[in-house]
Amino acid sequence: MPGAAAGDGERTIVVLLGPPGAGKGTQGEQLAAALGIPKISTGDVLRAAVRDGTALGREAKAFMERGDLVPDPVILGIMKDALSQPSAARGAILDGVVRTVPQAEGLQTALSQLGRVTTVVLVFAIDDDVLVRRISERTVCEACQTPYTGHMPGSACPKCGGRLVRRADDEPDAVRQRLKVYHAQTAPVITWYATHGVRVVPIDAVGTRSEVQARVLRAFSR
């Protein structure tokens, strides 16, 4: 299998970077299965908190609906909690977890306290206009949260029969804001990693799911 997760006592942390709609979630699921480590998504944790109406959800909701970032201290709390779970003992795929330089610094500090860690950063590259089109075709199942492309809002989830809806932050104004935020606040994280001795691998995110998956797996066979 290409690049299995690290051996005893060593963690593999894969940071997925890239704009909204670049395919981080889908590719992250497949990579998690291939490497045998969990995928952690702060977006999923926050959406569940909003649905459940918890204190975290109430704090995050307005930021998310506007397409803005949730404050760093909130994200660092979620990140540390997720990494301390037994399921993450051999590492994790971090999907959208690191979106600002302070978050990258906070993650590095947290990881330095966890023993031997190999960090790899995958950067999904894709043009904004392709993303806007992709996101406009995206729906998600209200019940099981599976994302789909090209299935109409209101239709039934092929997996569980739940209702497919559009995410509030996939509406055009929020998408434009999320892209703006990505370029201003998340793109500098790539340079931060490259200048801190972390392996950064660009992934061409244009193509079918399996074409992109093959590129991702190739990054682990080197």
Does residue number 94 form part of the binding site for ligand AMP (CB under 6 A)? no
Q: Tokens representing 110?
A: 């947290």
Q: How far, in Å, CA of 159 to CA of 151, rounded?
A: 12
Looking at beta carbons, which residue is closest to ligand AMP? 43
Q: How far, in Å, CA of 94 to CA of 214, rounded?
A: 19
Does residue number 75 form part of the binding site for ligand AMP (CB under 6 A)? yes
Please tell me what DSSP assigns to residue 156: B
Q: How many residues sit close enough to ligand AMP to count as binding (CB under 6 A)?
A: 17
Which position among 11, 24, 39, 90 bears the catalytic label?
24
Does residue number 205 form part of the binding site for ligand AMP (CB under 6 A)? no
Q: Tokens representing 71?
A: 């404050």
3-class SS string, 165-221: ECCHHHCHHHHHHHHHHHHHHHHHHHHHHHCCCCEEEEEECCCCHHHHHHHHHHHHH
Does residue number 63 form part of the binding site for ligand AMP (CB under 6 A)? yes
Does residue number 83 form part of the binding site for ligand AMP (CB under 6 A)? no
Considering the complex, what minimum distance in angstroms separates the CB of residue 222 from ligand AMP? Answer: 27
Which residues participate in catalysis according to the annotation?
24, 99, 138, 167, 178
Which residue ranges make up the site for ligand AMP (CB under 6 A)?
20, 42-43, 46, 63-64, 67-70, 75, 96-97, 99, 103, 169, 178
